[in-house]
Chains A and B, each alone.
Chain A
Amino acid sequence: MTTPPGRLALCLAALVAVFLLMPLVAVIPVSFTPSRFLSLPEGEWSLRHYRVLIENPAWGQGLGLSIGIGVVSSVLATGMALAFSLGIWMVQPRFAGLLMGIALLPMVAPPVVSALTLYFFLITLGQFNDVIAYDTWAGVALAHAVMTAPYAVVLITVALTQVDRRMDLAARGMGASLTRRITSVILPSIRFGVLSALLLTFVLSWEEIGVTLFITSVDAVTLPRLMWMGLRDNIDPAIAAISVILICVVVVVILAKTFWLGSGRRAKGE
Protein backbone atom coordinates (compact mmCIF):
# COMPACT_ATOMS: atom_id res chain seq x y z
CA MET A 1 0.00 0.00 0.00
CA THR A 2 1.58 3.27 -1.08
CA THR A 3 -0.32 5.62 1.15
CA PRO A 4 -1.68 3.96 4.26
CA PRO A 5 -4.33 6.12 5.93
CA GLY A 6 -2.83 8.81 8.16
CA ARG A 7 -3.44 9.37 11.83
CA LEU A 8 -6.16 11.96 11.23
CA ALA A 9 -8.15 9.54 9.05
CA LEU A 10 -7.76 6.83 11.67
CA CYS A 11 -9.01 9.09 14.46
CA LEU A 12 -12.03 10.22 12.43
CA ALA A 13 -12.85 6.65 11.46
CA ALA A 14 -12.59 5.58 15.10
CA LEU A 15 -15.08 8.32 15.99
CA VAL A 16 -17.51 7.06 13.34
CA ALA A 17 -17.03 3.49 14.56
CA VAL A 18 -17.86 4.55 18.12
CA PHE A 19 -20.90 6.42 16.79
CA LEU A 20 -22.04 3.24 15.00
CA LEU A 21 -21.71 1.01 18.05
CA MET A 22 -22.81 3.50 20.73
CA PRO A 23 -26.60 2.98 20.60
CA LEU A 24 -26.16 -0.79 20.57
CA VAL A 25 -23.99 -0.71 23.68
CA ALA A 26 -26.28 1.80 25.40
CA VAL A 27 -29.17 -0.65 25.31
CA ILE A 28 -27.35 -3.14 27.55
CA PRO A 29 -27.30 -1.30 30.93
CA VAL A 30 -30.79 0.09 30.37
CA SER A 31 -32.17 -3.45 30.05
CA PHE A 32 -31.06 -4.23 33.63
CA THR A 33 -32.77 -1.27 35.27
CA PRO A 34 -35.02 -2.20 38.19
CA SER A 35 -37.47 0.63 37.48
CA ARG A 36 -40.52 0.62 35.23
CA PHE A 37 -39.33 3.41 32.96
CA LEU A 38 -36.30 4.06 30.78
CA SER A 39 -33.34 4.66 33.10
CA LEU A 40 -29.89 3.46 34.09
CA PRO A 41 -29.68 0.98 36.93
CA GLU A 42 -28.32 2.78 39.99
CA GLY A 43 -26.66 0.30 42.30
CA GLU A 44 -29.16 -2.47 41.90
CA TRP A 45 -29.40 -4.49 38.69
CA SER A 46 -32.51 -6.46 37.88
CA LEU A 47 -33.67 -9.08 35.42
CA ARG A 48 -37.33 -8.11 35.71
CA HIS A 49 -37.59 -6.92 32.12
CA TYR A 50 -36.22 -10.22 30.87
CA ARG A 51 -38.74 -12.03 33.03
CA VAL A 52 -41.53 -9.99 31.42
CA LEU A 53 -40.50 -11.35 28.04
CA ILE A 54 -41.11 -14.89 29.29
CA GLU A 55 -44.14 -14.25 31.45
CA ASN A 56 -46.13 -11.98 29.14
CA PRO A 57 -47.54 -14.30 26.44
CA ALA A 58 -47.70 -11.41 23.93
CA TRP A 59 -43.93 -11.65 23.37
CA GLY A 60 -44.02 -15.39 22.71
CA GLN A 61 -46.95 -14.97 20.34
CA GLY A 62 -45.21 -12.13 18.51
CA LEU A 63 -42.10 -14.26 18.17
CA GLY A 64 -44.05 -17.21 16.79
CA LEU A 65 -46.01 -15.01 14.39
CA SER A 66 -42.85 -13.31 13.13
CA ILE A 67 -41.15 -16.64 12.48
CA GLY A 68 -44.21 -18.07 10.71
CA ILE A 69 -44.65 -14.98 8.53
CA GLY A 70 -40.91 -14.91 7.84
CA VAL A 71 -40.85 -18.54 6.67
CA VAL A 72 -43.95 -18.28 4.47
CA SER A 73 -43.00 -14.94 2.91
CA SER A 74 -39.36 -15.89 2.29
CA VAL A 75 -40.30 -19.17 0.59
CA LEU A 76 -42.91 -17.38 -1.52
CA ALA A 77 -40.61 -14.49 -2.41
CA THR A 78 -37.57 -16.63 -3.15
CA GLY A 79 -39.60 -19.13 -5.20
CA MET A 80 -41.09 -16.47 -7.45
CA ALA A 81 -37.78 -14.61 -7.66
CA LEU A 82 -35.96 -17.80 -8.64
CA ALA A 83 -38.43 -18.53 -11.46
CA PHE A 84 -38.27 -14.92 -12.64
CA SER A 85 -34.48 -14.67 -12.59
CA LEU A 86 -34.14 -18.02 -14.38
CA GLY A 87 -36.67 -16.81 -16.94
CA ILE A 88 -34.74 -13.59 -17.59
CA TRP A 89 -31.47 -15.54 -17.82
CA MET A 90 -32.76 -18.25 -20.16
CA VAL A 91 -35.14 -16.24 -22.35
CA GLN A 92 -33.19 -12.95 -22.47
CA PRO A 93 -36.40 -11.13 -23.41
CA ARG A 94 -36.32 -7.93 -25.39
CA PHE A 95 -37.74 -5.76 -22.63
CA ALA A 96 -35.64 -7.33 -19.87
CA GLY A 97 -34.90 -3.88 -18.39
CA LEU A 98 -38.57 -2.98 -18.12
CA LEU A 99 -39.52 -6.38 -16.66
CA MET A 100 -36.68 -6.08 -14.15
CA GLY A 101 -37.95 -2.60 -13.26
CA ILE A 102 -41.41 -3.98 -12.44
CA ALA A 103 -39.90 -6.79 -10.35
CA LEU A 104 -37.70 -4.38 -8.39
CA LEU A 105 -40.34 -1.67 -7.91
CA PRO A 106 -41.04 -2.28 -4.19
CA MET A 107 -37.31 -2.05 -3.45
CA VAL A 108 -36.78 1.35 -5.06
CA ALA A 109 -40.09 3.02 -4.19
CA PRO A 110 -40.17 4.98 -0.91
CA PRO A 111 -41.14 2.48 1.83
CA VAL A 112 -44.05 4.63 2.96
CA VAL A 113 -45.53 4.62 -0.55
CA SER A 114 -45.24 0.82 -0.63
CA ALA A 115 -46.91 0.71 2.76
CA LEU A 116 -49.89 2.79 1.59
CA THR A 117 -50.08 0.75 -1.64
CA LEU A 118 -50.19 -2.56 0.26
CA TYR A 119 -52.73 -1.11 2.68
CA PHE A 120 -54.92 -0.26 -0.30
CA PHE A 121 -54.38 -3.78 -1.69
CA LEU A 122 -55.29 -5.55 1.55
CA ILE A 123 -58.38 -3.52 2.40
CA THR A 124 -59.61 -3.97 -1.17
CA LEU A 125 -58.99 -7.72 -0.99
CA GLY A 126 -60.55 -7.80 2.47
CA GLN A 127 -63.88 -6.88 0.94
CA PHE A 128 -63.98 -10.29 -0.74
CA ASN A 129 -62.43 -12.65 1.83
CA ASP A 130 -61.36 -12.89 5.46
CA VAL A 131 -58.14 -14.87 5.07
CA ILE A 132 -55.93 -12.49 3.13
CA ALA A 133 -57.01 -9.13 4.44
CA TYR A 134 -56.03 -6.17 6.60
CA ASP A 135 -54.64 -7.23 9.98
CA THR A 136 -54.33 -10.97 9.17
CA TRP A 137 -51.16 -13.05 9.26
CA ALA A 138 -51.65 -14.17 5.64
CA GLY A 139 -52.00 -10.55 4.54
CA VAL A 140 -48.77 -9.62 6.32
CA ALA A 141 -46.94 -12.63 4.83
CA LEU A 142 -48.11 -11.66 1.33
CA ALA A 143 -47.10 -8.02 1.85
CA HIS A 144 -43.69 -9.07 3.14
CA ALA A 145 -43.25 -11.29 0.08
CA VAL A 146 -43.92 -8.23 -2.12
CA MET A 147 -41.37 -6.16 -0.23
CA THR A 148 -38.62 -8.79 -0.09
CA ALA A 149 -38.92 -10.50 -3.50
CA PRO A 150 -36.86 -7.75 -5.24
CA TYR A 151 -33.89 -8.45 -2.96
CA ALA A 152 -34.11 -12.17 -3.84
CA VAL A 153 -34.22 -11.24 -7.55
CA VAL A 154 -31.05 -9.18 -7.15
CA LEU A 155 -29.15 -11.92 -5.29
CA ILE A 156 -30.19 -14.73 -7.65
CA THR A 157 -29.56 -12.63 -10.77
CA VAL A 158 -26.08 -11.82 -9.52
CA ALA A 159 -25.48 -15.54 -8.85
CA LEU A 160 -26.66 -16.37 -12.39
CA THR A 161 -24.11 -14.03 -13.96
CA GLN A 162 -21.45 -16.44 -12.67
CA VAL A 163 -22.98 -19.44 -14.48
CA ASP A 164 -21.32 -20.49 -17.73
CA ARG A 165 -23.98 -20.35 -20.44
CA ARG A 166 -22.15 -22.99 -22.48
CA MET A 167 -22.87 -25.60 -19.81
CA ASP A 168 -26.59 -24.97 -20.22
CA LEU A 169 -26.24 -24.96 -24.02
CA ALA A 170 -24.41 -28.29 -23.87
CA ALA A 171 -27.12 -29.82 -21.68
CA ARG A 172 -29.74 -28.50 -24.08
CA GLY A 173 -27.85 -29.83 -27.08
CA MET A 174 -27.72 -33.27 -25.51
CA GLY A 175 -31.46 -33.24 -25.17
CA ALA A 176 -31.96 -32.34 -21.50
CA SER A 177 -35.48 -31.20 -20.70
CA LEU A 178 -36.11 -27.80 -19.18
CA THR A 179 -36.62 -29.31 -15.73
CA ARG A 180 -33.41 -31.30 -16.07
CA ARG A 181 -31.45 -28.23 -17.20
CA ILE A 182 -32.67 -26.26 -14.22
CA THR A 183 -32.33 -28.93 -11.54
CA SER A 184 -29.10 -30.63 -12.66
CA VAL A 185 -27.18 -27.84 -14.37
CA ILE A 186 -28.23 -24.38 -13.22
CA LEU A 187 -29.47 -24.85 -9.65
CA PRO A 188 -26.32 -26.58 -8.38
CA SER A 189 -24.25 -23.62 -9.58
CA ILE A 190 -26.44 -20.98 -7.92
CA ARG A 191 -27.42 -22.79 -4.74
CA PHE A 192 -25.50 -20.35 -2.52
CA GLY A 193 -27.27 -17.43 -4.20
CA VAL A 194 -30.65 -19.07 -3.62
CA LEU A 195 -29.83 -19.88 0.00
CA SER A 196 -28.67 -16.33 0.69
CA ALA A 197 -31.85 -15.04 -0.95
CA LEU A 198 -33.90 -17.26 1.35
CA LEU A 199 -31.97 -16.04 4.39
CA LEU A 200 -32.08 -12.36 3.42
CA THR A 201 -35.82 -12.39 2.66
CA PHE A 202 -36.45 -14.07 6.02
CA VAL A 203 -34.38 -11.49 7.90
CA LEU A 204 -36.02 -8.60 6.03
CA SER A 205 -39.48 -9.94 6.86
CA TRP A 206 -38.43 -10.59 10.45
CA GLU A 207 -37.39 -6.94 10.86
CA GLU A 208 -40.08 -5.36 8.69
CA ILE A 209 -41.96 -2.55 10.45
CA GLY A 210 -42.74 0.26 7.97
CA VAL A 211 -45.26 -1.71 5.93
CA THR A 212 -46.42 -3.82 8.87
CA LEU A 213 -47.51 -0.67 10.72
CA PHE A 214 -49.87 0.24 7.90
CA ILE A 215 -51.44 -3.20 7.48
CA THR A 216 -51.91 -4.46 11.03
CA SER A 217 -53.66 -3.20 14.14
CA VAL A 218 -54.50 -5.61 16.97
CA ASP A 219 -54.62 -9.17 15.60
CA ALA A 220 -51.47 -9.70 13.53
CA VAL A 221 -48.96 -8.29 16.00
CA THR A 222 -45.46 -9.29 14.90
CA LEU A 223 -42.42 -8.86 17.13
CA PRO A 224 -41.38 -5.50 15.56
CA ARG A 225 -44.96 -4.29 15.81
CA LEU A 226 -44.96 -5.17 19.51
CA MET A 227 -41.67 -3.31 19.97
CA TRP A 228 -43.11 -0.29 18.16
CA MET A 229 -46.02 -0.17 20.60
CA GLY A 230 -43.59 -0.21 23.53
CA LEU A 231 -41.57 2.59 21.95
CA ARG A 232 -44.39 4.93 21.05
CA ASP A 233 -46.51 5.22 24.16
CA ASN A 234 -44.29 5.39 27.22
CA ILE A 235 -40.98 3.79 26.64
CA ASP A 236 -40.98 0.27 28.04
CA PRO A 237 -37.60 -1.12 29.24
CA ALA A 238 -38.76 -4.57 28.07
CA ILE A 239 -37.82 -3.21 24.62
CA ALA A 240 -34.27 -2.91 25.93
CA ALA A 241 -34.31 -6.54 27.08
CA ILE A 242 -35.59 -7.87 23.75
CA SER A 243 -33.13 -5.57 21.93
CA VAL A 244 -30.21 -6.97 23.89
CA ILE A 245 -31.25 -10.50 22.94
CA LEU A 246 -31.59 -9.58 19.25
CA ILE A 247 -28.23 -7.77 19.28
CA CYS A 248 -26.55 -10.81 20.83
CA VAL A 249 -27.97 -13.09 18.14
CA VAL A 250 -26.74 -10.80 15.33
CA VAL A 251 -23.29 -10.36 16.90
CA VAL A 252 -22.82 -14.11 17.43
CA VAL A 253 -23.91 -14.92 13.86
CA ILE A 254 -21.68 -12.24 12.31
CA LEU A 255 -18.65 -13.14 14.43
CA ALA A 256 -19.13 -16.83 13.67
CA LYS A 257 -19.44 -16.10 9.95
CA THR A 258 -16.44 -13.75 9.92
CA PHE A 259 -14.12 -16.10 11.75
CA TRP A 260 -15.40 -19.25 10.08
CA LEU A 261 -14.99 -17.73 6.60
CA GLY A 262 -11.83 -16.01 7.74
CA SER A 263 -10.19 -19.26 8.82
CA GLY A 264 -11.40 -20.88 5.58
CA ARG A 265 -9.76 -18.11 3.60
CA ARG A 266 -6.56 -18.44 5.57
CA ALA A 267 -6.55 -22.21 5.05
CA LYS A 268 -6.70 -21.61 1.31
CA GLY A 269 -3.68 -19.37 1.64
CA GLU A 270 -5.40 -16.17 0.52
Chain B
Amino acid sequence: MHRLPRPVWLLFPLLGFMLLTYVLPFLGVAAWSVTLPEPGIGQYQAALTDPLVQSVFLRTFRVCLVVTVVTVAAAYVITLIWVRGTPMQRLVIELCILIPFWISVLTRAFGWLALLSNRGILNSWAQNLGFLTEPLTMVRNEFGVVVGMVHFLIPFAAFPLASAMRAVDERVLLAARGMGAGRTRVFLQVFVPMTGPGILGAALVVFVFALGFFVTPAILGGGRSVMAAELIYLRIFQSPNWGLGAAISVILMVAVGALLALMMRHARGAGPR
Protein backbone atom coordinates (compact mmCIF):
# COMPACT_ATOMS: atom_id res chain seq x y z
CA MET B 1 0.00 0.00 0.00
CA HIS B 2 1.53 3.28 -1.00
CA ARG B 3 1.50 6.03 1.58
CA LEU B 4 0.17 9.42 0.78
CA PRO B 5 1.72 12.38 2.56
CA ARG B 6 -0.32 12.89 5.71
CA PRO B 7 -1.36 16.39 6.78
CA VAL B 8 0.73 16.54 9.94
CA TRP B 9 0.98 20.30 9.55
CA LEU B 10 -2.67 20.62 10.56
CA LEU B 11 -1.54 19.96 14.11
CA PHE B 12 1.00 22.76 14.20
CA PRO B 13 -1.04 25.97 14.61
CA LEU B 14 -2.74 24.97 17.84
CA LEU B 15 0.31 23.16 19.27
CA GLY B 16 2.55 26.10 18.45
CA PHE B 17 -0.01 28.49 19.91
CA MET B 18 -0.31 26.53 23.16
CA LEU B 19 3.45 26.14 23.45
CA LEU B 20 3.98 29.87 22.98
CA THR B 21 1.09 31.20 25.06
CA TYR B 22 0.84 28.56 27.75
CA VAL B 23 3.65 26.03 28.16
CA LEU B 24 6.55 28.47 27.93
CA PRO B 25 4.88 31.15 30.09
CA PHE B 26 4.08 28.51 32.71
CA LEU B 27 7.75 27.60 32.78
CA GLY B 28 8.37 31.32 33.21
CA VAL B 29 6.04 31.38 36.21
CA ALA B 30 7.83 28.32 37.60
CA ALA B 31 11.10 30.20 37.09
CA TRP B 32 9.70 33.14 39.10
CA SER B 33 9.00 30.78 41.96
CA VAL B 34 12.67 29.82 42.28
CA THR B 35 14.28 33.19 41.40
CA LEU B 36 12.15 35.90 43.06
CA PRO B 37 13.31 37.56 45.19
CA GLU B 38 16.45 35.41 45.26
CA PRO B 39 17.48 32.12 43.62
CA GLY B 40 16.60 29.02 45.61
CA ILE B 41 13.68 27.07 46.94
CA GLY B 42 13.04 29.58 49.72
CA GLN B 43 9.53 30.36 48.45
CA TYR B 44 8.50 26.71 48.63
CA GLN B 45 9.86 26.47 52.15
CA ALA B 46 7.95 29.64 52.98
CA ALA B 47 4.78 28.31 51.34
CA LEU B 48 4.97 25.10 53.34
CA THR B 49 5.97 26.56 56.71
CA ASP B 50 4.47 30.07 56.87
CA PRO B 51 1.47 29.83 59.23
CA LEU B 52 -0.60 32.20 57.08
CA VAL B 53 -0.05 30.24 53.89
CA GLN B 54 -0.58 27.00 55.79
CA SER B 55 -3.89 28.22 57.16
CA VAL B 56 -4.95 29.20 53.62
CA PHE B 57 -4.03 25.74 52.29
CA LEU B 58 -5.85 24.10 55.18
CA ARG B 59 -8.95 26.23 54.58
CA THR B 60 -8.82 25.55 50.84
CA PHE B 61 -8.67 21.81 51.50
CA ARG B 62 -11.44 21.93 54.10
CA VAL B 63 -13.76 24.07 51.97
CA CYS B 64 -13.13 21.95 48.87
CA LEU B 65 -13.87 18.77 50.82
CA VAL B 66 -17.14 20.10 52.24
CA VAL B 67 -18.11 21.53 48.84
CA THR B 68 -17.38 18.20 47.13
CA VAL B 69 -19.49 16.15 49.55
CA VAL B 70 -22.45 18.55 49.49
CA THR B 71 -22.30 19.09 45.72
CA VAL B 72 -22.16 15.40 44.84
CA ALA B 73 -24.97 14.55 47.28
CA ALA B 74 -27.22 17.33 45.94
CA ALA B 75 -26.36 16.51 42.34
CA TYR B 76 -27.07 12.82 42.95
CA VAL B 77 -30.58 13.52 44.17
CA ILE B 78 -31.45 15.88 41.37
CA THR B 79 -29.86 13.71 38.68
CA LEU B 80 -31.89 10.76 39.92
CA ILE B 81 -35.07 12.60 38.92
CA TRP B 82 -33.42 13.95 35.76
CA VAL B 83 -32.71 10.39 34.59
CA ARG B 84 -35.54 8.35 36.12
CA GLY B 85 -38.44 10.77 36.64
CA THR B 86 -41.56 11.20 34.51
CA PRO B 87 -41.01 13.16 31.25
CA MET B 88 -42.44 16.31 32.86
CA GLN B 89 -40.18 16.00 35.92
CA ARG B 90 -37.21 15.41 33.65
CA LEU B 91 -37.91 18.54 31.64
CA VAL B 92 -38.26 20.71 34.76
CA ILE B 93 -35.06 19.35 36.29
CA GLU B 94 -33.17 19.73 33.02
CA LEU B 95 -34.12 23.40 32.91
CA CYS B 96 -33.12 23.82 36.57
CA ILE B 97 -29.68 22.41 35.76
CA LEU B 98 -29.09 24.04 32.37
CA ILE B 99 -30.25 27.59 33.11
CA PRO B 100 -27.84 28.19 36.02
CA PHE B 101 -25.11 26.37 34.08
CA TRP B 102 -25.23 28.93 31.27
CA ILE B 103 -25.44 31.98 33.52
CA SER B 104 -22.29 33.87 34.36
CA VAL B 105 -20.54 33.08 37.63
CA LEU B 106 -20.71 36.79 38.52
CA THR B 107 -24.49 36.93 38.20
CA ARG B 108 -24.83 33.83 40.33
CA ALA B 109 -22.51 35.16 43.02
CA PHE B 110 -24.42 38.43 42.96
CA GLY B 111 -27.68 36.55 43.43
CA TRP B 112 -26.30 34.94 46.58
CA LEU B 113 -25.14 38.32 47.85
CA ALA B 114 -28.65 39.67 47.34
CA LEU B 115 -30.10 36.70 49.24
CA LEU B 116 -27.62 36.20 52.05
CA SER B 117 -26.04 39.53 52.94
CA ASN B 118 -26.93 41.29 56.19
CA ARG B 119 -29.47 43.53 54.49
CA GLY B 120 -30.32 40.87 51.94
CA ILE B 121 -33.61 39.20 51.20
CA LEU B 122 -33.42 36.30 53.67
CA ASN B 123 -32.32 38.47 56.58
CA SER B 124 -35.01 41.09 55.84
CA TRP B 125 -37.71 38.46 55.73
CA ALA B 126 -36.53 36.71 58.86
CA GLN B 127 -36.42 40.01 60.72
CA ASN B 128 -39.79 41.22 59.45
CA LEU B 129 -41.39 37.94 60.46
CA GLY B 130 -39.71 38.10 63.84
CA PHE B 131 -37.51 35.01 63.54
CA LEU B 132 -34.35 37.05 64.01
CA THR B 133 -33.56 40.21 65.87
CA GLU B 134 -29.98 40.53 64.63
CA PRO B 135 -29.09 39.80 61.00
CA LEU B 136 -27.43 36.41 60.58
CA THR B 137 -24.02 36.68 58.92
CA MET B 138 -24.13 34.37 55.91
CA VAL B 139 -21.69 35.98 53.48
CA ARG B 140 -18.14 37.19 53.85
CA ASN B 141 -17.43 33.92 55.62
CA GLU B 142 -16.92 30.26 54.76
CA PHE B 143 -20.66 29.55 54.75
CA GLY B 144 -21.22 31.96 51.88
CA VAL B 145 -18.24 30.58 49.99
CA VAL B 146 -19.53 27.00 50.34
CA VAL B 147 -23.05 27.96 49.25
CA GLY B 148 -21.80 29.82 46.18
CA MET B 149 -19.38 27.08 45.15
CA VAL B 150 -21.93 24.29 45.60
CA HIS B 151 -24.35 26.25 43.47
CA PHE B 152 -21.75 26.72 40.76
CA LEU B 153 -20.59 23.11 40.74
CA ILE B 154 -23.84 21.08 40.90
CA PRO B 155 -24.27 21.01 37.08
CA PHE B 156 -20.67 19.83 36.65
CA ALA B 157 -21.38 16.91 38.98
CA ALA B 158 -24.78 16.22 37.42
CA PHE B 159 -23.39 15.49 33.94
CA PRO B 160 -21.06 12.57 34.87
CA LEU B 161 -23.64 11.25 37.36
CA ALA B 162 -26.33 11.26 34.68
CA SER B 163 -24.24 9.19 32.30
CA ALA B 164 -23.44 6.72 35.12
CA MET B 165 -27.14 6.41 36.00
CA ARG B 166 -28.20 5.97 32.38
CA ALA B 167 -25.75 3.07 32.09
CA VAL B 168 -27.38 1.13 34.93
CA ASP B 169 -28.94 -2.06 33.58
CA GLU B 170 -32.64 -1.98 34.36
CA ARG B 171 -32.80 -5.81 34.46
CA VAL B 172 -30.48 -5.93 37.48
CA LEU B 173 -32.89 -3.71 39.41
CA LEU B 174 -35.78 -5.88 38.25
CA ALA B 175 -33.95 -8.98 39.40
CA ALA B 176 -33.35 -7.48 42.82
CA ARG B 177 -37.02 -6.54 43.10
CA GLY B 178 -38.03 -9.99 41.91
CA MET B 179 -35.95 -11.60 44.62
CA GLY B 180 -37.86 -9.65 47.21
CA ALA B 181 -35.71 -6.62 47.96
CA GLY B 182 -37.65 -3.53 48.97
CA ARG B 183 -37.32 -0.23 47.11
CA THR B 184 -34.95 1.28 49.65
CA ARG B 185 -32.79 -1.80 49.63
CA VAL B 186 -32.65 -1.90 45.81
CA PHE B 187 -31.63 1.74 45.80
CA LEU B 188 -28.99 1.54 48.53
CA GLN B 189 -27.51 -1.88 47.84
CA VAL B 190 -27.87 -2.15 44.05
CA PHE B 191 -28.38 1.22 42.38
CA VAL B 192 -25.94 3.33 44.42
CA PRO B 193 -23.06 0.80 44.21
CA MET B 194 -23.62 0.45 40.45
CA THR B 195 -23.22 4.21 40.02
CA GLY B 196 -20.17 4.20 42.33
CA PRO B 197 -17.60 4.95 39.61
CA GLY B 198 -19.79 7.88 38.47
CA ILE B 199 -19.92 9.21 42.03
CA LEU B 200 -16.15 9.02 42.36
CA GLY B 201 -15.66 10.65 38.96
CA ALA B 202 -18.05 13.47 39.81
CA ALA B 203 -16.34 13.99 43.17
CA LEU B 204 -12.91 14.25 41.53
CA VAL B 205 -14.15 16.70 38.90
CA VAL B 206 -15.77 18.88 41.56
CA PHE B 207 -12.74 18.76 43.85
CA VAL B 208 -10.32 19.68 41.05
CA PHE B 209 -12.57 22.55 39.94
CA ALA B 210 -13.00 23.78 43.49
CA LEU B 211 -9.25 23.84 44.17
CA GLY B 212 -8.55 26.50 41.58
CA PHE B 213 -11.68 28.53 42.27
CA PHE B 214 -11.22 32.23 42.46
CA VAL B 215 -14.21 34.41 41.62
CA THR B 216 -16.92 32.98 43.87
CA PRO B 217 -14.75 32.80 47.03
CA ALA B 218 -13.43 36.30 46.36
CA ILE B 219 -16.96 37.75 46.16
CA LEU B 220 -18.76 35.67 48.79
CA GLY B 221 -15.76 35.34 51.09
CA GLY B 222 -15.28 39.08 50.91
CA GLY B 223 -11.55 38.95 51.58
CA ARG B 224 -12.11 37.33 54.98
CA SER B 225 -11.83 33.64 54.21
CA VAL B 226 -9.07 33.70 51.62
CA MET B 227 -8.48 30.52 49.62
CA ALA B 228 -5.38 29.46 47.69
CA ALA B 229 -6.45 30.98 44.38
CA GLU B 230 -7.27 34.34 45.94
CA LEU B 231 -3.97 34.28 47.83
CA ILE B 232 -2.17 34.05 44.49
CA TYR B 233 -4.10 37.10 43.25
CA LEU B 234 -3.28 39.02 46.42
CA ARG B 235 0.42 38.12 46.24
CA ILE B 236 0.62 39.27 42.61
CA PHE B 237 -1.47 42.44 42.71
CA GLN B 238 -1.99 43.70 46.25
CA SER B 239 0.92 42.94 48.56
CA PRO B 240 3.35 41.86 45.92
CA ASN B 241 5.45 38.81 46.51
CA TRP B 242 5.54 37.37 43.02
CA GLY B 243 7.82 34.53 43.97
CA LEU B 244 5.39 33.26 46.61
CA GLY B 245 2.39 33.66 44.27
CA ALA B 246 4.25 31.68 41.61
CA ALA B 247 5.27 28.98 44.11
CA ILE B 248 1.67 28.52 45.26
CA SER B 249 0.60 28.29 41.60
CA VAL B 250 3.13 25.55 40.94
CA ILE B 251 1.97 23.67 44.06
CA LEU B 252 -1.67 23.95 42.92
CA MET B 253 -0.76 22.77 39.42
CA VAL B 254 1.09 19.73 40.82
CA ALA B 255 -1.81 18.89 43.16
CA VAL B 256 -4.34 19.07 40.32
CA GLY B 257 -2.03 17.09 38.03
CA ALA B 258 -1.75 14.34 40.64
CA LEU B 259 -5.54 14.25 41.10
CA LEU B 260 -6.07 14.08 37.33
CA ALA B 261 -3.56 11.23 37.01
CA LEU B 262 -5.52 9.43 39.73
CA MET B 263 -8.74 10.08 37.81
CA MET B 264 -7.28 8.73 34.55
CA ARG B 265 -6.06 5.57 36.26
CA HIS B 266 -9.46 5.22 37.88
CA ALA B 267 -11.22 5.74 34.52
CA ARG B 268 -9.00 3.11 32.92
CA GLY B 269 -9.70 0.70 35.78
CA ALA B 270 -13.44 1.28 35.46
CA GLY B 271 -13.38 0.77 31.70
CA PRO B 272 -13.74 -2.55 29.89
CA ARG B 273 -12.35 -5.27 32.09
B17–A80 CB distance below 8 A: yes
Across the interface, name the chain B residue whose C-beta is closest to A25.
Answer: B111
Q: How far is the CB of B143 from chain A (nearest CB, A)?
A: 14
The B87-129 residues at the A interface (CB cut-off 8 A) are 89, 91-100, 102-115, 117, 119-121, 124
Give the residues in chain B near A243, CB-CB below 8 Å.
106-107, 110-111
* In the complex, per-residue mask of B50-91: 1 if CB is within 8 Å of any chain A CB, else 0: 000000000000000000000000110110110011100101
Of B38-46, B192-200, B210-218, the one contacting chain A is B210-218
Q: How far is the CB of A79 from chain B (nearest CB, A)?
A: 8
Of A116, A143, A224, which one neighbours B106 at CB under 8 angstroms? Answer: A224
Please report which residues of chain A, range 229-270, place their CB below 8 angstroms from some CB of chain B when the two chains form the complex.
Answer: 231-232, 235, 239-240, 243, 246-247, 250-251, 253-255, 258, 262
A105 at the interface (CB under 8 A from B): yes
Q: Is A174 an interface residue (CB 8 A)?
A: no
Interface residues in A112-147 (C-beta closer than 8 Å to B) = 112-121, 124, 142-143, 145-146
Is the beta-carbon distance between B8 and A19 smaller than 8 angstroms?
A: no
| B26 part of interface (Cβ distance < 8 Å) | yes
Query: B110 is contacted by which of A2, A22, A239 (Cβ under 8 Å)?
Result: A239
CB of A213 closer than 8 Å to a CB of B: yes
In the bound complex, residues from chain B placing their C-beta under 8 Å from that of A253 are 102
> Interface on chain B toward A: helix, strand, loop, or mixed SS?
helix
Closest to A24 in B: B111
Bound form: Cα–Cα A23–B246 in Å = 35
B219 interfacial contact with A, CB 8 Å: yes
Question: What separation, in Å, do the CA atoms of A255 and B102 have in the docked complex?
Answer: 12
B273 proximal to A (CB < 8 A): no
Mark each residue of chain A from 150 to 190: 1 if its CB lies under 8 Å from any CB of chain B, else 0.
Answer: 00010000000000000000001000001000000000000
Whether a CB of chain B sits under 8 angstroms from the CB of A220 is no
In B154-208, which residues have CB < 8 Å from any A CB?
154, 170, 173-174, 177, 183, 186-187, 191, 208
* B-side contacts of A24, CB under 8 Å: 99-100, 103, 107-108, 111
The CA-CA distance from A126 to B258 in the complex, in Å, is 33
Contacting pair A254 B95 (CB below 8 A): yes
A197 within 8 A of B: no
A84 touches B14 (CB 8 A): yes
In the bound assembly, the distance between CA atoms of A34 and B4 in angstroms comes to 71
Chain A residues 87 to 127 lying within 8 A of chain B, measured CB to CB, are 87-88, 90-91, 93, 99, 102-103, 105-106, 108-121, 124
Q: Which residues of B contact A142 (CB under 8 A)?
A: 21
Cβ-defined contact, B104 with A109, below 8 A: no
Interface residues of chain A: helix, strand, loop or mixed (majority)? helix
The distance from the CB of B37 to the nearest CB of chain A, in whole angstroms, is: 17
B15 and A251 contact, CB distance less than 8 A = no
Residue of B nearest to A81 (CB): B14
Closest CB-CB distance, B74 to chain A, in whole Å?
5
Assess whether A88 is in contact with B29, with CB atoms less than 8 Å apart: no
Pull 12 A–B residue pairs with CB atoms less than 8 Å apart, ordered by A: A1-B84, A40-B121, A91-B11, A102-B15, A112-B213, A112-B229, A116-B29, A117-B22, A120-B25, A146-B17, A224-B106, A243-B110
Which chain A residues have a beta carbon within 8 Å of chain B's beta carbons?
1-6, 9-10, 12-13, 16-17, 19-27, 29-30, 37-40, 79-81, 83-84, 86-88, 90-91, 93, 99, 102-103, 105-106, 108-121, 124, 142-143, 145-146, 149, 153, 172, 178, 203, 207, 209-210, 213-214, 224, 227-228, 231-232, 235, 239-240, 243, 246-247, 250-251, 253-255, 258, 262
| Apart from A99-B15, A117-B25, 19 more pairs, CB < 8 Å | A13-B77, A23-B108, A24-B99, A24-B100, A110-B208, A110-B256, A111-B213, A113-B29, A113-B256, A118-B22, A118-B25, A119-B236, A121-B25, A207-B104, A210-B214, A240-B114, A247-B103, A258-B91, A258-B95
